Amino acid sequence: MSKETRMAEEVKLLKTWSSPFGLRIVWALKLKGIEYESIDEDLSNKSPLLLHSNPIYKKIPVLIHNGKPISESVVILEYIDQTWTQNPILPQHPFEKARQRFWAKFNDNKLIPSVWSVFVNEGKEKEEALLENLKLVEEELKGKRFFGGDKIGLVDLVFGWLANLMGVFEEVTGLKLIDDRFPLLSAWILEFSEIPIIKDNWPSHDKLVVKYRALHQKFHPLK
Amino acid sequence: MSKETRMAEEVKLLKTWSSPFGLRIVWALKLKGIEYESIDEDLSNKSPLLLHSNPIYKKIPVLIHNGKPISESVVILEYIDQTWTQNPILPQHPFEKARQRFWAKFNDNKLIPSVWSVFVNEGKEKEEALLENLKLVEEELKGKRFFGGDKIGLVDLVFGWLANLMGVFEEVTGLKLIDDRFPLLSAWILEFSEIPIIKDNWPSHDKLVVKYRALHQKFHPLK
């Protein structure tokens, strides 16, 4: 990259204060040491910049790099890793890379919907389905400190929401899910949460509890 | 890669005769000129190899390369492209790469479910939603011969099912969806279907019609 291009480098991140999908991008940019402008969107009144940058989904997060917008959080993470190669979040070997991509998809397509399903509906069957998913995640941590191995990687950033939102979720619903049935996941949550770039960028726990308590009441008006 | 490793190379693909997700992998392997063993699964009686190779989803396609299984069709496509670099299906530039990944996700998460929804339920509203998605695809083809540009790429392989299954779908439901409202998509279907590695590997049209007609009758028993 020429000096001129580097000088012109402009990075903007459209996110919300609470979204775990936005938070993964914050963590990745911090890990890479990239300066960026953070723009918090009000989803009830989306900015023209968001509507213009992600016309198909009109969703955050969007990363805008030198005027070019990229949507879909895992696509953004891959973009960041290829563009700024310091502190890689994906391994080089194709098989290991495929494994990280597989688990990122598992989180977004299976784990998150199963947590959401318990949050809005509860019920034993849904809880069992969620516990099955957590067991698979526990299994994947066997013999490893982080999902990425010795250091955090893409899957750690993607699973990172577990380390704070699960606590909020447990507080709001009164369900205890990640306990000593999941010793590796519990240990990972503790260790992951202690990493400076992670803990320095959590949204406020108290604000999250207020937000999710209101949401929970909306789905359970009689409670 | 050393000569010894190359000699030991073993590639197996678990698929079904009709799955569009398996077909994308067939096309990618053919495009790369990779010799492989094709194993058609009977999904009502899954093989021990499938259950062992994809214990989480127990789904096809699975690519097994030198004993190591990879699941999730887009993850497999990326693996193939990184492992065998001839005839690349992804561009090098991070922004262009992100764009291809975005559209691959759009196909799997938005377009396919919207087609399926019309297939099983029909109704004006669902049809409108599908047409909106097709309009976005049409838009993406502006100024390009293929989704990949001058040559087919990952998005062409992922959207490839449109080029044969939409015809089957139209024949079975009696709905005409891809017509002169979508001139670029119609032209792409014709051109894509003429590529030798594509047309030489279509599943039988007649068998597909029989399969989808039976499925359609299951969802519309009174028709």
Residue A97 at interface with chain B, using a CB cutoff of 8 Å: yes
> For A44-100, how does the pLDDT look when each residue is reduced to its tens digit (9 = 90+)?
999 999 999 999 999 999 999 999 999 999 999 999 999 999 999 999 999 999 999
Write the Ramachandran bin of B97: left for phi over 0, alpha for psi from -120 to 50, otherwise beta: alpha
Other beta carbons within 10 angstroms of residue A186's beta carbon come to 14
Helices A20-32 + A73-83 axis angle, to 10: 0
Residue A130 at interface with chain B, using a CB cutoff of 8 Å: no
Residue A105 at interface with chain B, using a CB cutoff of 8 Å: yes
The end-to-end CA distance of chain B, in Å, is 58
> For B146-194, how does the pLDDT look when each residue is reduced to its tens digit (9 = 90+)?
999 999 999 999 999 999 899 999 999 999 999 999 999 999 999 999 9
SS3 state of residue B70: strand
Mean pLDDT to the nearest integer, A8-37: 96
Beta carbons of A72 and B136 less than 8 Å apart: no
Min distance B211 CA to chain A CA atoms (Å): 28
Predicted local confidence at residue A222, as pLDDT: 72
Domain with CATH 1.20.1050.10 in chain B: 94-219
Which one of A1, A68, A75 would you mutate to disrupt binding with B, by most B Cβ within 10 Å of its Cβ?
Answer: A75
Domain with CATH 3.40.30.10 in chain B: 3-83
Chain A residues closer than 8 Å to B56 by CB:
106, 136
The CATH number of A94-219 is 1.20.1050.10
Lowest mean pLDDT segment, chosen from A7-11, A76-80, B113-117, B193-197: A7-11
CATH 3.40.30.10, domain B3-83, yes or no = yes
Judged against a pLDDT cut of 90, whether residue B62 lies above it is answered with yes
User: Would you call the peptide bond into B48 cis, given omega within 30 degrees of 0 as the criterion?
Assistant: no
Mean pLDDT to the nearest integer, A187-194: 97
Confirm if A192 and A156 have CB atoms less than 8 A apart.
Answer: yes
Judged against a pLDDT cut of 70, whether residue B36 lies above it is answered with yes
